[in-house]
Structures are given as structure tokens and as C-alpha cells.
Amino acid sequence: MSVTSIDRSFRILQEISEQPGSLSDLSRSLDIPTSTMGRFLGSLRAAGAIQRESDGTYSIGPTIIRLAGGATARPDLLTVAGAHISALAKLTNETAGIAAAVDDDVLHLGQISSDADVQVRDWTGEQVPAHPGCTGLVVMAYWPDEQVDRYLAQPLESFNEYTVTDPEAIRKRLEHIRATGYLWTTDEYALGVTSAAAPVRDSSGRAVGALHVFGPSYRFPGPADTDSLSTELCRRAEQISSVLRFHVQ
């Protein structure tokens, strides 16, 4: 490979790391002919340096993330999830985000919103108990039994009339999550908000976070095919998980 080719490869990787894009997007932004860009993307994809998403955009792949973090370092969850959050927000025209498991809570690490006139609030930086809503429940579903028992033995805070606090009802929901890989909830933490979440799991099977998408209940999910959206959410959560599994501590 020539110096020019190496330089172009690095320019492409840098562009993708900053803003995932399609073949035409990258060709235009870097002023590289489409046919040439296609060859570079093919080579980078074959090496695992980038990956092609279902919407046709390219994002940084597991090989680059491994090299950036070292063989034993664990990559940053928000960084790994970034392209998937962006893709879900674009797909649904709503808000998508990633949360991390922190003890018995979930911490909202970041979110990307749509251009819709009415937006849900920005939850970034908020730490929320696990039980009131799908984001925490998909994490709780993969806790050890003793952690679940301890958590459900304590009085559970109700955030509104729709918050589920009955231990047996919660246990049934955890079984549903383990069977399907996702959960939808409406109004249980914030009134007027419908959410769907899927767990992000490390090499031990423990849920280290949750990928979620949410929007105002009056329009989300609306007429959308919730089964297809749930499948896409699970697929992207699994792709994030697969990157994390390269980094066994």
C-alpha cells in the first residue's frame, strides 16, 4: 500500500469516527471519487476496521476499538454505542440513548434526539433506580438472583401511578426480558414517555448497560412496526455487546 493510500485510509477512519456516513456521504465530504471510496471501504471493512450498518452508513469497527483500547482495556460504552444511537434516532425520528449499570441503578450516559418539534427531556447524567422503566429492568434481568432478591425485598419508590412496584409483577417482567431480549414501557418513570430498551452484555453475560429509544407517547411508537423496531434494537445492542466481549478483564 502506498503512502497516499495509507493517508486516505486514515482520513476515512477519522471522518467515520467523527461522523458515520454512507458511501456517497464519505465520498462527498472527503472529495474522493465514489468508485475509489468504495474500494477503500471494502478493504477497511474486510480488516474489521469499519462496519456497515443496516441503514448503509459506516461506523468504526471492533478491530480499531481493540487497538485504541489495548488488548485488556475495556472500551468506553458511550463511544462504542455512538453510531448505533445515531442510527436508531434516525430510524425512529425519536430519541435514542445508552445507559450504564451502576450498582442498583442505571446512569444515562448520553442521547441523540431527532429534529421533531416536541422533544423528550435530556436525561444525560441522570442516575435512576432500576425498577421504574425498561432501561433499568433490562439490566436487572441479568443480575445475580441474590441481587434481585435483595432489591425487591426493599420498599420500591413509586414515581407516578403507573410505576410498577409489585415484586412478583417485576419478576414476571424479568422473565419476559430474558425470553425476548427487550422490554417496552409507557409512563412508568416519566409521564407521557414510551420507551423500549435492550441489554448490553459483557463476556460474562452480565448486563453492563442498556440501549434504548424513547419518545412522547402520543406519537411513539405510533403506527410503527414495534416487532421490527424491537428486533433492530436487540440487533444493535448485541453488536455493542460483541465489541465489549473482545475486552475480557
Q: Is 14 exposed, middle or buried (0-12, 13-18, 19+ CB in 10 A)?
A: exposed
Cell of 17: 469516527
3-state secondary structure of 234: helix
Q: Is the dihedral of CA 165, 227, 237, 113 positive or negative?
A: negative
Identify whether the C-beta of residue 91 lies closer than 8 Å to the C-beta of residue 103.
Answer: no
Question: Could you count the other beta carbons within 10 Å of the beta carbon of residue 62?
Answer: 20
* SS3 state of residue 73: coil
Write phi, then psi, for 96 (nearest 5 degrees): -125, 155
**Domains along the chain with CATH numbers:** 3-60 (1.10.10.10), 75-244 (3.30.450.40)
Which helix (H) or strand (E) segment holds residue 60: the answer is strand 58-60
Tell me the pLDDT of the chain (249 aa) as tens digits: 444 677 788 888 888 877 788 999 999 989 999 988 988 898 888 877 888 877 788 887 766 765 654 444 445 788 888 889 988 998 998 999 999 999 899 999 888 887 666 667 787 888 999 999 999 999 999 999 999 999 999 999 999 999 999 999 999 999 999 999 999 999 999 999 999 999 999 888 899 999 999 999 998 998 778 999 999 999 999 989 988 775 444
Residue 48: what residue type?
G
Q: Is 10 exposed, middle or buried (0-12, 13-18, 19+ CB in 10 A)?
A: exposed
Cα–Cα distance, 86 to 113 (Å, whole number): 9
